[in-house]
């Protein structure tokens, strides 16, 4: 068993160079692996599966090719694209994962997650997350027109960027106690996540925690081969 794991691409139609970078990655780094895991924030924003823009269609095509080539694709919600639904996943022949997923590779069990639930020091974000992940909020949002959804999402993104600039760095990183609590709840000693954009392999007590990068500059992605995790660059 083998897997490639990426996160936090934040794809958006105003950055075609980033799209090209993703396409090159898929054509050069994924072949030969059994699985591709995208651990959230594939898109900078996602306002619903019915947003059939040309850019979104192009992303669908390059991901569908990965599936067609025999590689299993798995997708997880991030804090930017939590409205991705089953229709999108079906279009790329991918499976939508829950917020916490155990990847078993032989005797090795690895917890996969986006990572935002570990940032419990950021109380305002956790409150916002609880609101927008509520089914009634999602249903109400998705009932609006595409233009209304686009306007709301743009406003939320601007507010998020402004708040992020005013927060201390340590607040936006994971909380150690939360990390150890989650690892204990799932009885694992290996974890891979993104969200914080701070790539590193952390070792704390018996836990190995691998953090993936965003895609703004050099990409740090993970591979798992026979239970062994490596952090690679692209």
The CATH code of the domain that includes 157 is: 3.60.21.10
Residues 6+ apart with CB under 8 A from 23: 62
Furthest C-alpha separation in the chain: 50
Residue 56: the pLDDT is 97
pLDDT of residue 32: 94
Dihedral pair phi/psi, residue 39, rounded to 5°: -90, 50
Q: Are 67 and 94 in contact (CB under 8 A)?
A: yes
Global pTM reads 0.95
CA–CA–CA angle 175, 179, 183 (5° rounding): 170
| 164 within 8 A of 182, measured Cβ to Cβ | no
The closest alpha carbon to 12, from 3, 1, 4, 21, belongs to 21
Distance CA 17, CA 111 (A): 32
Beta bridge partners of 201: 210
| Burial category of 75 from C-beta neighbours within 10 Å (exposed 0-12, middle 13-18, buried 19 and up) | buried
- Cβ proximity of 3 and 105 under 8 Å: yes
pLDDT of residue 83: 97
Contacts of 39 (CB under 8 A, 6+ apart): 5, 6, 7, 76, 78, 112, 113, 114, 115, 192, 193, 194, 212
What b/e string do you get for 163-177 counting C-beta neighbours within 10 Å, with b at 16 or more? eeeeeeeeebbbeee
Query: What's the distance, CA 199 to chain centroid?
Result: 14
How do beta strands 207-211 and 190-193 pair? parallel
Residue 177 has a pLDDT of 96
Domain count, the chain: 1
Question: What is the rounded distance in angstroms from the CA atom of residue 110 to the CA atom of residue 207?
Answer: 10
pLDDT given at position 80: 94
How high is the pLDDT of residue 101? 98
The boundaries of the domain holding residue 10 are 2-233
Q: Average pLDDT across each block of 10 residues of the chain; the chain has 234 residues. List them in order.
A: 97 96 97 97 97 97 97 98 97 98 92 98 94 96 96 88 72 93 97 97 95 97 96 98
Q: What is the pLDDT of residue 165?
A: 67
């Amino acid at each position: 068993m083998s897997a490639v794991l990426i996160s936090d691409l934040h794809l958006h139609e105003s950055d075609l160079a980033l799209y090209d970078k993703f396409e090159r990655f898929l054509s050069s780094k994924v072949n030969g692996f059994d699985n591709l895991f995208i651990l959230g924030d594939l898109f900078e924003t996602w306002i619903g599966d019915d947003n059939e823009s040309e850019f979104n269609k192009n992303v669908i095509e390059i991901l569908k090719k990965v599936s067609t080539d025999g590689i299993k694709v798995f997708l997880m919600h991030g804090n930017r694209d939590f409205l991705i639904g089953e229709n999108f996943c079906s279009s790329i022949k991918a499976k939508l994962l829950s917020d916490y997923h155990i990847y078993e590779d032989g005797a090795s069990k690895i917890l996969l997650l986006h990572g935002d639930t570990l940032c419990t020091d950021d109380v305002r974000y956790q409150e916002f997350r609880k609101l927008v992940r509520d089914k009634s909020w999602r249903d109400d949002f998705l009932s609006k027109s595409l233009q209304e959804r686009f306007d709301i999402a743009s406003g939320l993104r601007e507010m998020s960027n402004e708040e992020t600039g005013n927060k201390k760095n340590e607040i936006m990183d994971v909380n150690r106690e939360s990390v150890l609590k989650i690892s204990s709840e799932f009885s694992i000693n290996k974890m891979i996540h993104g969200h914080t954009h701070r790539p590193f392999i952390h070792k704390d007590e018996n836990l190995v925690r691998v953090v993936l990068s965003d895609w703004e500059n050099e990409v740090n992605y993970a591979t798992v081969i026979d239970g062994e995790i490596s952090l690679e660059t692209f």
